[in-house]
Structure 1
Amino acid sequence: MADTHIDRDALSVLREVMEEAYPELLDTFLADSESRLVELRKAVDAKALSEVAHSFKGSASNMGALRLAELCQELESEAKVKSPSEIARLVADITGEFAEVRPVYEGERQHALTH
C-alpha cells in the first residue's frame, strides 16, 4: 500500500511506545472508527458533521492514517459550505479510505498478538 495512506514510521513509534498495549490501541481505533463512520452517515447538520470529523481526524492522525486524516480535515472545515451531495461524497470517500487502511491495522494487530 502506498505511503500516502499510512505513515509506517508513526506506527513503528506507537508499537514501541505502547508495547503490550498496542493491540488494544489498534482495537480501540478500529472500533472507534466504525462508530464514527456510522455517526457521519447519521449526522444531519454541519455542526455535528464537523465535530465527528474533528474527533475522527485526531485519532486517524495519531494512528498514522494520513489520507483518512486529510479527508476528515476537509469535512471538518468545509461541512458548513458543502452541498448535501458533496458531503455525501466526502463521507463516502472517508468510508472508502477507512476500508482501504483497515486491513493494515488488523494485520498490525495480528502481528502484535503473535509476536
Structure 2
Amino acid sequence: MSDIHLDHSVLSALRDVMEDEFPVLLDTFLADSAERLRQIRQANAASDSQALRLAAHSFKGSCSNMGALELAGLCKQLEDMARRDQLSDAPGVILLIEQEFLTVRGLLQEARRGLPH
C-alpha cells in the first residue's frame, strides 16, 4: 500500500547517495514541508494565485525528489489551477494535499526510525 504514496526505489537511491546524511534529509524534508503547507494555505487565504502557484510548484519539486509522487501530482494540480487563476476548487485540492502529506509523513517517520540521529 505504501508504494502508492512513496516510491521506495527513490528513497533507496537517496539512502545510498546520502549515506549518513539520509536521516538529516528526511528531517529537513518533513520540517520544510510544514512550512510549504503553511505558505500554500496563506496564499490561498489571500487569493494570491501567483504565490499559490509558486508555493505549490516548490512543494511539488521537493515531493518528487523524495519519491512522494502522489503528493507531487496533487501539488501539480494545485499549481495548474493557480496558473489559470481558477482558485474555486483550490480548498479541496489543498485538503487532499494535507491528507496525503499526513500519510507520507507517517511513512517517512517509519523509515526514519532506527536510523542514527
TM above 0.5, yes or no, is yes
Number of aligned residue pairs: 113
Query: d(CA) in 2 for partners of 1:30 and 1:101?
Result: 9
2:41 paired residue number: 41
2:95 paired residue number: 92
1:109 paired residue number: 112
Alignment root-mean-square deviation, CA: 1.3
Query: Does the 8 Å contact 2:52/2:79 carry over to 1?
Result: yes
1:81 CA displacement:
3.9
Runs (5+) with no aligned partner, structure 1: none
1:56 paired residue number: 59
Q: TM-score, normalized by length of structure 1?
A: 0.92
Q: Identify the match of residue 86 of structure 2 among 82, 85, 91.
A: 82
AA at the equivalent of 1:10: V
Q: Please state if 1:16 is matched with 2:37.
A: no
2:5 paired residue number: 5
Query: Does the 8 Å contact 2:63/2:71 carry over to 1?
Result: yes
AA at the equivalent of 1:65: A
Q: TM-score, normalized by length of structure 2?
A: 0.90
1:67 paired residue number: 70
Runs (5+) with no aligned partner, structure 2: none
